[in-house]
Chains A and B, each alone.
Chain A
């Protein structure tokens, strides 16, 4: 990036400090990766780190936020709302815009596509989505995982993640959330739904154990880089 930035940028989101990991450099637009939501984010952490490394090989910087209440964030998950996550993505895009002097490419994965329309359009060069899902689908799959893993203990009404109930401002807002705005949509080769491009790989977000697929990460990085190169100001 033309103006070096810290490896970990600190952002203030609704009064709390949150963290954005930044990798690589290059005189090009940076890519803001928006991770999947809930358990899918954990299963895809390795994949996203590999995508960042591959983007760096291509000379393109990238950034990955820890959404409030997840990863290194100190915000209690029980208090997190969808607005917090959207504000984090918006602030991250704004920071990359300032740091590189160019609008950022946004590359979202799965439920991350529900957040990628949050930034100021002036901060965004284009949106890329891998296997986007609706908020209602995210909640349904969360509910199934919760029921399948049900153990003894007091049942919690409503959606739960890792033993913590989702705040009304998260569950309620997710129920109605849809991916919005124009984007290049990519899916895996085995996925029958419509897509602009199909990439090799397997649905890492549903793996029983976190897996690693360097070829998939490389294909993702190359497709993002190609789209970034065609966007204005990249």
Chain B
């Protein structure tokens, strides 16, 4: 894994902790198949807005609303994949 790819993963974990209020120790256990949208009660549609905006700020990316769907947010791995495609 490149250094930049690792930074994106670290950023995603800290944003999940900061925005959703999920304990950092629990977020550290997330693997690529860990389900997110529909599985985390903290992650409702309003929380998605805050989560994406914070990720945009920290990663210096822009996410269009029509790129946001259930598939992209389905798992930790799918969200990470989306962010790496955007940022790298």
Closest to A201 in B: B18
A residues with a Cβ closer than 8 A to B are 141, 144-145, 147-149, 190-192, 202-203, 206-209, 211
- A149-B45, A192-B58 known; A208+B50 contact, CB < 8 A: yes
A211 and B20 alpha carbons, distance in the complex (Å): 10
- Encode contact with A along B44-82: 1 for CB under 8 Å, 0 otherwise: 111111111110011010000100100000000000000
Judge whether A144 and B65 touch: CB under 8 Å: yes
- Taking a contact as CB atoms under 8 Å apart, the answer to whether B53 and A148 are in contact is no
Q: B-side interface residues toward A, CB under 8 Å?
A: 14, 17-21, 42-54, 57-58, 60, 65, 68
A148-B45 contact given A141-B53, A190-B14, A203-B54, CB 8 Å threshold: yes
Partner of A202, one of B18, B43, B47, B65: B18
Question: How many Å lie between the Cα of A108 and that of B75 in the bound state?
Answer: 37
Q: Is the interface of B mostly helix, strand, loop or mixed?
A: helix
**Chain B residues near A203 (CB-CB < 8 A):** 18-19, 54
Q: Is the interface of A mostly helix, strand, loop or mixed?
A: loop
A145 to B65, CA, bound (A): 10
Taking a contact as CB atoms under 8 Å apart, the answer to whether A147 and B65 are in contact is yes
Alpha-carbon distance between A206 and B17 when the two chains are bound, in angstroms: 12
B46–A149 contact, CB under 8 A?
A: yes
Complex contacts, A145 vs chain B, CB 8 Å? 46, 49-50
User: Within 8 Å CB of A191, what residues of B?
Assistant: 57-58
A206 to chain B, nearest CB (A): 4
Cβ–Cβ contact A211 & B21, under 8 A: yes
Q: In whole angstroms, how far apart are the Cα atoms of A140 and B48 in the complex?
A: 15
